[in-house]
Structures are given as C-alpha cells and as structure tokens.
Amino acid sequence: MKKFATWNVNSLSIRLPQVLDWLAAHPVDALVLQETKLTDDKFPTMEIGEAGYQVQWFGQKTYNGVALISRETATDVVKNITGFADEQARVIAGTVGGVRVIGGYFPNGQAPDSEKFVYKMNWLTGLRNWLTEEMKAHENLVLMGDFNIAPEDRDVYDPIAWAGQIHCTPQEREHFQQLIGLGLTDAFRLFEQPPKSWSWWDYRNLAFRKNQGLRIDHILVSEALKPRVTACEIDKLPRKNERPSDHAPVIVTIDG
C-alpha cells in the first residue's frame, strides 16, 4: 500500500511544525508542498531529515516554492516544466518507489481579464505538453497539487456567485478536462464523497466555520494506477489548527 499527499502550506517557515506533526500522524510515501515561500538556502532540510524523510526543494523569494518530501529517495528530479521557461518556482517531480510523483503549484490567475490569467493559460498548456512526455515515460504517475481550478460547480460553495470568476472560468475548466483527456483521473471523484467537500477556505468571513470553500487541490492518477486506488480524502483537521494554512491536505491511498 502506498500513500501520496499534497498540501499548500502557505509559508513553510510558519507551518513547519504543523507539517512535521502531520507527517508523524500520516506516514505517507510522498508529500508535495506548495507555497513554501522560501529561498533554497532557507529550506529546513535538517528538520525534515530528522523526522525520517528525504526532501527535494525548489523555491524563490517571497512567493511560490514547492517541495517533494518522501520516505525513499526521489530519483530523476525535475524542477519546473521542461520546455516551458518560467521565472516562478511551481513544479517539482521525482520518482518514488516506482511512481512518478509530480507536485505543482498552478498559477492563481488573479482575474480572467488579467495578464496573470494569460500566464496561467500558457502555463497550463506548457504543463500539458510536458506531461504528455512524462506519461509516456512513466505509466505509474500521480499529478497533485494546488491546481487553482474548481473543476465543476459541485466543487464550489456558491457556484452562482463564482460563475465565470477565477478558478471557475470555462477556460480553466477546459484545461482541467484536457489533463483528464491525457488519461488521468481525479482520484477524489472515484469515491462517494460528502457533499460540500472543499480543500480551501478563505481566511476571512469565518469561511471555514461556515464551510464556504472551494475544491482546488487535486490528485490525478494515471490509468495504470487508477484500478489500484482504494481511497482519496481531504484532511480537514489541520485547518482547525491555531495558525492554519488556508488549504487542507489531500491524500490518496494506492493498493499494492
């Protein structure tokens, strides 16, 4: 049995104790982090090592930043999207126990009429092109992270208010479907799930207490892995911590 997880921690320096606690309670094979917000020289390698994990990291100042924490050493590590020049640190990939693990912090996009939305669209195209090659090379593959896309209306607490807004535009949803079209499956939807399942809640307006959120953090699995997936859950517990990230971890369990 294998477990893989993703978590946008919104600053690893603030959240490191929570990440270590979470790993102690959830001994996963690999955990990808987003929004570490750390330059590489400040990455807490030692603390993670002392917890019994290996780690690969890829950061920048102030924004973005990703990491791949794993029990076994990750091999063939790739940072960012091959073939897509990017100033921003958003992707880290590695092979862990025969599974290609790709962690991504997808661009937010800010607003559908902004430059950042154009970047998001280009980034998604670049990701898809690269992924096509990655999938040819690795039949066992998981793509996980903060997609910043709510794939369907049932992934949005108020789909009417959010219609056409960032995370919910037809263009973003089309990109999500194109990733699915490569032969990937949204592991969360392989199972009956509680209605109003979200992975992110705004810090403001008591959104978590009112359960007003979005499901924008996802785990996509390749065809070869799909029949082996036995569970996929959002762990809301860390969102109840004292200084929580605004995102919750998502975990997938794979048989064999």
Partner DNA sequence: ATGGCACCGCCCCGGTGA
- Would you say 8 or 95 has its CB closer to DNA? 8
Q: Does 221 bind DNA (CB under 7 A)?
A: no
Could you tell me where the beta strands, DSSP code E, fall in 24-182?
A: 30-34, 54-58, 66-70, 75-79, 91-96, 99-105, 141-146
183, containing H or E segment:
none
CA-to-CA distance for 237 and 101, rounded, in angstroms?
24
| 146 flagged as catalytic | yes
Scanning 24-32, 47-55, 134-142, 199-207 for contacts with DNA by CB under 7 A, the matching segment is 199-207
Please state the closest distance from residue 243 (CB atom) to DNA, in A.
Answer: 5
- Would you say 103 or 107 has its CB closer to DNA? 107
Q: Does 196 bind DNA (CB under 7 A)?
A: no
Please state the closest distance from residue 138 (CB atom) to DNA, in A.
Answer: 27
Q: Apex CA 202: angle with CA 15 and CA 239, to 5°?
A: 40
The one among 82, 205, 211, 230 contacting DNA by CB under 7 A: 205
Q: Which of 29, 53, 105, 217 is catalytic?
A: 105
- Would you say 11 or 45 has its CB closer to DNA? 11
Q: Which of these, 117, 189, 190, 126, lies nearest to 148 by C-alpha position?
A: 117
The one among 45, 54, 108, 193 contacting DNA by CB under 7 A: 108
* Lookup: tokens for 95: 């092979």
The one among 98, 152, 203, 240 contacting DNA by CB under 7 A: 203
Q: Which of 29, 146, 155, 186 is catalytic?
A: 146
In the chain, the largest separation of any two C-alpha atoms, in whole Å, equals: 47
What lies within 8 Å, CB to CB, of 235 at 6+ separation is 22, 26, 248, 249, 250, 251
Q: Does 171 bind DNA (CB under 7 A)?
A: no
Residue type, 122: N
Query: What is the contact surface with DNA in residues (CB under 7 A)?
Result: 8, 10-11, 13-14, 35, 37, 39, 61-63, 107-108, 110, 116, 146, 148, 166-167, 200, 202-205, 214, 216, 243, 246
